[in-house]
Structure formats: structure tokens, C-alpha cells
Amino acid sequence: MKFNFAKLSAVKAGAIVVFAVQGPGLTKSAQQLDKTCKGALSRALKASRFHGDIAEIIEVLAPQGLRCSRVLVVGLGSAGKAGHADFERIGGQIVAKLQSSGETVVSVIMDAIGTLAITVSEAAMRLALGGRLRSYRFDKYRTKEKAAKKPSLTRFVVLTSDYKQADQLFNNQDPVIDGVFMTRDLVSEPANVLYPKNFADRIMALKDVGIEVEILGEREMRRLGFGALIGVSQGSAQEPQLAIMQWNGHAQKATPKPADKRNKTSTSASAPPVLLVGKGVTFDSGGISIKPAGGMEDMKWDMGGAGAVTGAMYALAIRRARANVVGVVALVENMPSGTAQRPGDVVRSLSGQTIEVINTDAEGRLILCDAMWYAQERFKPKVMIDLATLTGAIIISLGHEYAGMFSNNDDLCKQLSSSGFASGDKLWRMPMGDSYDGLINSPIADMKNVGPREGGSITAAQFLQRFVKPGVAWAHLDIAGMAWSSKDTALWEKGATGYGVRLLDTFIRDHHEEK
């Protein structure tokens, strides 16, 4: 689907979208349209109990007097209140409604709508962004979809006075959606297609956009001492991989301007990177502590953290972000077999700390602790963020609205929370503390890999914190409730959401990028 912006003009074909505020009151261009079709719109609003609530839609087919095939009237809520997230939602709803309707072009008329919480061009950009997010489908394995169910919509045009600025704003955000789509592709793939080696191959391809990529295989990790990660992987026929992606955006040349006298020193080129670490369990059967059969198929998306880190690195690279960022993803499959690790086994992590594996299904923390340690030793970051579908308990706590955030640093939390709000990938901070930490002490090793059932997400975070080096500002994002959706929403069809990509991109833009 193509998204563009154009100047306000009469629309002669396809679907038209106009707006109404609560009341309901049609906007100026909606009123004009209503006149042209002899009051068909206002009559339809009355007949349908339309209030103009945010994203409420009524559809008028083939209105007399108009050459277009249908008009959608969309609610904007109370005048002056609709913000960036609302316009994304509305854009998404429009696509959801029209994508397979037989319509090929939709023109959204975004004229000056009295007061808005944001500028008209920003609103126009958000409409297109939301529309594009909602247009994603993962249909490579559907061979028998009926023609009438297939997407028909190919163009989404926003007509607005300052269309040049809207276009500029859109182009600034559009690469991030490519990153979101990469993540959705990775997360959607079944585990027979996307296993550690193949995931690493896909990451290798990011060399093409200027990311430095290295892959460590089992032999190297064994030699280096990744005992906790290898313990998880040893029951699987698939070889584990550690993928390291480096984006040195500070070293990127700015578009040369003759008058630019800024003195670029090498200090920023070698600035310590922001480190992103992702859990990439391509399938989590639970291992010997095997999961129940019902719903186990969901565990193909237990690599959502690694998927988000990969998509975010891609987005940063294609928009040539002026920041140094390193992404490290630990890729393993957790399987039961004669070679699998047993409950009670003690493993030695890369950090030297020993771990009693009480439950082989608490595997995410075991691979993350080695990946985090390796990356901190090697890259000396000041900031480290890990993303993981780590615990079912976080879904009990927060449902599917917020990911859980655990951190040793208040400032980092504030930054991430606001990036979460701005990007739509929302975060809610959870508590940590010594008394929780004590719950994972082991009688035989330095720690055990699970605590009691209560507070399961918190003890998981405490476990990870034991692998954070002094002086590193760290946040752990438990995204188990967010990586996948069993329902259609405004911005995605049910399935992989791409959660985390927009969050990380916004965070880097706002706090780590040279302006």
C-alpha cells in the first residue's frame, strides 16, 4: 500500500473520509460534501446514533450526487482533544475498514478542524502512519484465500493544506515502520522456519544497510564460557547463536554543507554505545520442565525481544540515526531430550556466578545473563536495555496494555516511560528490592533460576540484575504480554505486534542522538 499527501481538491473516485467532532458537528469540508450529496451524510449520522466519539465510524455507500463510491465519517471526540495516538488509531481503523472492501483508493480530507491537540500536518502524518501499521499482513503461508477476502486497497492519500510538511514528517517516521514490519515478520514465523541459525542468517543480511554483524556459534560460546546459555540449548538439535549488531551512527557523515564549520571530533564517534539485549528463544517447549500442550504453539514467539532489537537496529540504520547503538541477541531453542539439562543441574555462567536450574522453563534469564555479561565486558555501555518475553506473571500483572519495566535507575525509567507514551509502546514500572532478591538464593549454588510463584516477574528481574555491572544504568522490559496479540486492534491485525521497535527508536532519538 502506498501512502501520500496532496493538496486539498475535489475527490472524484474511491472512498472519501471526512471528520466530525462530538456533538456531532461535521467539519467544514464534511459540510460541503454533505451539501453536494443533498444531506445524505447528516441524515446517516442521525439514523445511526453517531456521536462523534474518537474513531467512531459511519459508512455511507454510493451517496447520490457524488462520483465517489463511499464516504466514511469519522469521529474526533471532543473538539481540541484528539492527540497523536488518536490519529494513528483513526488511520488504522480506516485501513481496517477498507483494506478488503473492494476499494482501491482512500482519500482522507484533513482540513483545518478548529482546534486540535497537535498541528494539522502532524495529524495528517499520524493518520498515514497508523494506516500503514494496520495494513501489515503475514500471509505468505496462505495459498487458498478467497479473492473477495484479499486486500484491495492500494493507496491511502491524505489531502491537507500543508501537505509538504506532512510528507516530510511522514518520511521521518516511515523507516521505523519498516523496522516494525521486520520484527513482525520474524515473530510471526513458525519455529520450523525460524530457528537460531536461520535467524542469525537474517541478521547477517543487515550488513547491507551498514550494520556491522558478527555471529558466535556454539563452539565459540563454549570456549568463552557461556555455561548458562549452552545449558538451555543443549537439549535441542539446533545450534545456539549469539548475534552482535553494531550501528556506529556517530561516525556517519552528516550531509555535507559548505557552511558547516562544526568541529567533529572523534570523541563522539567512539562514544560508549547504548546496549540493547534481546531474548531469542525460537521455541520454548519448557525443556524437561515441559509446558502443557494447550497453547504451546504460542511459544514460537518467545523470540519477541530479539525480534524487537533486530527491527530497531534496522530502523536506526536505514534512517541513519546519529547514535552508537549495539544490539545483542541470544538465539536458542529450549527442548526436552536425552541431552537436555535437568532440574537440579548447576551451571556456571559467563560471569563466573553459578546457578542451580530448578525449572528448565525459566530459560530466558539463563540465556540473557550470559549475553548481557558478554556485551557489557566487550562494549562498556553506560546504558543497557534488555527486552524479553520473560514471564507469564507479567501478563497477570499488566495484561496487554503495558510492558513491565524493571530498573536500577530512576532517570532512565523516566526517559523510557515518556518514550513509551510518545511511541504508543507503553511501559509501567515495577518494583525491585533486596527482599525479592533474597528469594533466589540457592543452598548449593550462588543462586537458583526461579523464586516462589508470587512476584514471578520481579524475581526474574532480580536474577538479571545480578548480572548488571556497577555503574551501568539498566532497564529490563518484560514484553510477554505485548509481543503478540490474540485480537485485532487499531494498529495491528491479530498476531505479531512489533512492540518495542517504536519505543527504542523514540528513546534513541530523544536521548542519544546528536541533533
Q: Residue 243 phi/psi, 5° resolution?
A: -105, 135
Binding-site member from 102, 190, 272, 392 for ligand BES (CB under 6 A): 392
Binding-site member from 169, 480, 490, 501 for ligand BES (CB under 6 A): 480
How many Cβ atoms from other residues are within 10 Å of residue 8's Cβ?
A: 14
User: CA of 377: how far to CAs of 329, 372, 468, in Å?
Assistant: 15, 9, 10
Asked if 363 touches ligand BES (CB under 6 A), the answer is: yes
Site size for ligand BES (CB under 6 A): 15
Q: Report d(CA 356, CA 341) in Å as an integer.
A: 11
With CB under 6 A as the contact rule, which of the stretches 2-10, 60-68, 391-399, 407-415 interacts with ligand BES? 391-399
> Which of the following is catalytic: 43, 202, 291, 469?
291
Q: Report d(CA 109, CA 98) in Å as an integer.
A: 16
Of 171, 71, 169, the residue nearest 120 (C-alpha): 169
Supply the DSSP string of 282-311, one letter for each residue: EEE--TTSPPPSTTGGGGGGTTHHHHHHHH
Query: What mask of x and - would describe binding to ligand BES in positions 272 to 301, judged by CB under 6 A?
Result: ------------x-----------------
Asked if 187 touches ligand BES (CB under 6 A), the answer is: no
Q: Report d(CA 162, CA 503) in Å as an integer.
A: 28
**Residues in 313-372 that interact with Zn ion by CB under 5 A:** 364
Asked if 359 touches ligand BES (CB under 6 A), the answer is: yes
Question: Among all chains, which residue has been given the C-alpha cell 541477541?
Answer: 329
Q: CB-wise, 112 or 395, nearer to Mn ion? A: 395
Q: How far is the CB of 225 from Zn ion (least distance, A)?
A: 23
Q: How many residues does the chain have?
A: 515
Asked if 364 touches ligand BES (CB under 6 A), the answer is: yes
With CB under 6 A as the contact rule, which of the stretches 250-258, 347-355, 389-397, 421-429 interacts with ligand BES? 389-397
Question: Dihedral of the CA atoms 396, 399, 405, 411 (nearest 10)?
Answer: -130
Question: Which residues of the shown chain bind Mn ion in the complex (CB under 5 A)?
Answer: 284, 361, 363
Asked if 302 touches ligand BES (CB under 6 A), the answer is: yes
Q: Report d(CA 20, CA 26) in Å as an integer.
A: 4
Asked if 362 touches ligand BES (CB under 6 A), the answer is: yes
User: CA of 303: how far to CAs of 207, 221, 331, in Å?
Assistant: 21, 19, 8
291 is catalytic: yes
Q: How far is the CB of 302 from Mn ion (least distance, A)?
A: 7
Binding-site member from 33, 128, 182, 393 for ligand BES (CB under 6 A): 393
User: In sequence order, what E strands does 357-426 have?
Assistant: 383-388, 403-407
The radius of gyration of the chain from alpha carbons, rounded to an integer in Å, stands at 25
Q: CB-wise, 281 or 475, nearer to ligand BES? A: 281
With CB under 6 A as the contact rule, which of the stretches 42-50, 103-111, 390-398, 401-409 interacts with ligand BES? 390-398
Please provide the distance, in angstroms rounded to a whole number, between the alpha carbons at the two ends of the chain: 32
Q: Report d(CA 128, CA 121) in Å as an integer.
A: 11
- Binder of residue 456, out of Mn ion, ligand BES, Zn ion, none (CB less than 5 to 8 A by kind): ligand BES
Do residues 184 and 499 make contact, with C-beta atoms less than 8 angstroms apart? no
Q: How far is the CB of 277 from Zn ion (least distance, A)?
A: 15
Q: CB-wise, 75 or 364, nearer to ligand BES? A: 364
Q: CB-wise, 113 or 357, nearer to ligand BES? A: 357
- Binder of residue 210, out of ligand BES, Mn ion, Zn ion, none (CB less than 5 to 8 A by kind): none
Do residues 479 and 500 make contact, with C-beta atoms less than 8 angstroms apart? yes
> Which of the following is catalytic: 89, 319, 322, 365?
365
Residues near 233 by Cβ (< 8 Å), separated by ≥ 6?
196, 218, 239, 240, 332, 333, 334, 367
Q: CB-wise, 24 or 287, nearer to ligand BES? A: 287
* Beta-bridge partner residues of 2: 155
Asked if 56 touches ligand BES (CB under 6 A), the answer is: no
Tell me whether residue 36 is exposed, middle or buried, using C-beta atoms within 10 angstroms of its C-beta: 0 to 12, 13 to 18, 19 or more: middle
With CB under 6 A as the contact rule, which of the stretches 32-40, 108-116, 125-133, 385-393 interacts with ligand BES? 385-393
Supply the DSSP string of 63-89, one letter for each residue: -TT-SSSEEEEEE--STT---HHHHHH
Binding-site member from 34, 185, 189, 302 for Zn ion (CB under 5 A): 302
Q: Report d(CA 509, CA 475) in Å as an integer.
A: 18
Of 347, 345, 343, 312, the residue nearest 327 (C-alpha): 312
**Residues in 440-459 that interact with ligand BES by CB under 6 A:** 450, 456
Q: How far is the CB of 367 from Mn ion (least distance, A)?
A: 10
With CB under 6 A as the contact rule, which of the stretches 57-65, 128-136, 360-368, 462-470 interacts with ligand BES? 360-368
Q: How far is the CB of 442 from Mn ion (least distance, A)?
A: 19
150 is catalytic: no
Q: How far is the CB of 377 from ligand BES (least distance, A)?
A: 25
Q: CB-wise, 54 or 277, nearer to Mn ion? A: 277
Question: Dihedral of the CA atoms 381, 306, 89, 59 (nearest 10)?
Answer: 160
Q: How far is the CB of 112 from Mn ion (least distance, A)?
A: 53
Residue closest to Mn ion when measured from CB atoms: 361
Active-site amino acid positions: 291, 365
Give contact residues for ligand BES (rule: CB under 6 A): 284, 302, 359, 361-364, 389-393, 450, 456, 480
Give contact residues for Zn ion (rule: CB under 5 A): 281, 284, 302, 364
